[in-house]
Amino acid sequence: MRMVAYHTIQHTTASLPLQTRARLWYRTAMVSATDDYDVIIAGASYAGLTATRHLNRHGHRVLLLDEHAIGAVRHSACAVPTRTLADVGGLSSSVQETAWGVIHTKLNTVRYRSPEPWTIFDHRAVCDTLRVQAPHVPFLQARITQFDGHAVTTDKGRFTAHCFLDATGWRAALASARQPGFIDRGRVTIGMEVTVPHRTDAMHFYVNREIVRWGYGWIFPCGDTSRVGIGAFDNPKGIPDLLRAFLRRLGMSDDLRSVERTGGFLPWQQRPAVLDNLWLLGDAAGHCLPLTGEGIRFAFQDGDLAGHLLDEMLAGTRTWDTASAIYASTIERHRRRIGSFTHLQNFVRHVPNAAFAPMAWLLARRAVCSWGLTRYLNWEHDAVPDVP
Ligand SMILES: Cc1cc2nc3c(=O)[nH]c(=O)nc-3n(C[C@H](O)[C@H](O)[C@H](O)COP(=O)(O)OP(=O)(O)OC[C@H]3O[C@@H](n4cnc5c(N)ncnc54)[C@H](O)[C@@H]3O)c2cc1C
């Protein structure tokens, strides 16, 4: 274990509120001689890796942790606006790009053109692209089991730091370890998906209660294959059966064992973004959008914001206090927009199945589609204010 430089301890605590400062000084006094890192980033997926690339300076003592090898496990259908992928330097991981979408309801099928293209990408390739942008940040494959606010306990040992980023996805491993009951399992969408041989030129959405009572099915194009999945907002039991029935309805094999299968939970619970010296990012903070289930774009944005602020703090140009306040307030504005999608998702629950047809028709009108999707695609965190 390395010594923590005194000036680092000082500048990270200088302007914290009194109570927090007292807690940190207490911890500092007790354990500063054995602190390992300035920052520990838990979770090496979209949010964690994006934050890491800002913390690549030799002087920063940063550790990146994940229970899996980087890029080894895909939980997602991996569809993002092409612009989002370009922003993180990941265009080379693109498998298929399309601007076309198709909405299927019980009574009609409508096709629309997005004002900007979307890309379905290769998960491992994007993770590799992000990882090479931070070669000086060490990575440790280790499962996190405990967190007490100052040290992370893993199956490979215990590591201390001044501050922590929780980018461990919907489980929020650090925040949950610190606050039992942190996760509300009633406010997660369950998603399951298979990759099957099937070619298409568009992203298809199935909004039909005969397929899933409260949720939607999808087919996303991916070269010679397609990613076919079901998402249910109320996390019901029996999602594999729903997916099998959906595949049969599409005239595809319903044998889930013979194809690549993935799945998981999409949190739409608003969780705190800052807990003392812990910041939450991406799905850990509940930033997956209700209704659409889009989360990768916001995980990238959270990672960029958190990484940028922490870099400035570690370089001594911003205090922890200011950085935390900017992170919290930016996320708060993001949350207000997420809230409107929670209302829409709740509204959809009460819409009769037949009413989806005229709604889909309206959404696919060129003017409506262009206006709505342009606003949706421009959804970005505010820029970080310059250091005065
Ligand atoms: C079926 C499905 C399809 C989806 N499709 C899309 C889509 O097309 N487009 C889109 O934008 N979003 C989609 N999403 C949502 C998207 O996957 C998430 O919003 C996104 O992955 C969040 O990124 P993240 O970095 O916050 O967390 P994650 O990508 O979930 O990464 C969390 C990381 O933390 C690690 N971790 C977790 N617990 C521990 C622990 N205890 N110890 C150590 N490491 C740990 C994990 O191994 C993982 O690498 C989909 C989700 C699902 C379930």
| pLDDT score, position 30 | 35
Answer whether residue 200 shows pLDDT above 60.
yes
Sign of CA dihedral 181, 182, 183, 186: positive
Q: Which amino acid is at 126?
A: V
State the distance from the centre of ligand 1 to the C-alpha of 55, rounded, in angstroms.
21
Distance CA 4, CA 161 (A): 9
| pLDDT score, position 382 | 76
Distance CA 153, CA 147 (A): 6
State the distance from the centre of ligand 1 to the C-alpha of 321, rounded, in angstroms.
29
**What is the reported pTM?**
0.91
Nearest ligand 1 atom to alpha carbon 284: 26
What's the half-sphere exposure (Cβ side, CA atoms, 13 Å) at 367? 0
Answer whether residue 289 shows pLDDT above 60.
yes
User: Is the shortest distance between the CB of 38 and ligand 1 below 6 Å?
Assistant: no
All domains in the chain, ordered by first residue: 7-73+124-183+269-350 (3.50.50.60), 79-121+188-267 (3.30.9.30)
Q: Is 120 helix (H, G, I), strand (E, B) or coil?
A: strand
Q: Atom 44 (ligand 1): residue with closest C-alpha?
A: 66
Identify the burial level of 14 via C-beta atoms within 10 angstroms of its C-beta, where 0-12 means exposed, 13-18 middle and 19 or more buried.
exposed
Select from 163, 150, 152, 149 the least CA-distant residue to 12: 163
Distance CA 138, CA 312 (A): 20
End-to-end Cα separation, the chain, in angstroms: 36
Q: Is 167 helix (H, G, I), strand (E, B) or coil?
A: coil
Residue whose CB lies within 8 A of the most ligand 1 atoms, among 66, 87, 123, 212, for a mutation test: 66
User: Is the shortest distance between the CB of 295 and ligand 1 below 6 Å?
Assistant: yes
User: Is the shortest distance between the CB of 240 and ligand 1 below 6 Å?
Assistant: no
In total, the chain counts a number of residues equal to 388
pLDDT tens readout for residues 267-288: 988 899 999 999 999 999 999 9
Residue whose CB lies within 8 A of the most ligand 1 atoms, among 296, 298, 301, for a mutation test: 296
In the chain, % of residues over pLDDT 70: 91
Which of the two residues, 368 and 24, has the higher pLDDT score?
Answer: 368
- The 10 Å CB-count burial string (b at 16+, else e) for 38-48 is bbbbbbbbbbb
State the distance from the centre of ligand 1 to the C-alpha of 244, rounded, in angstroms.
23
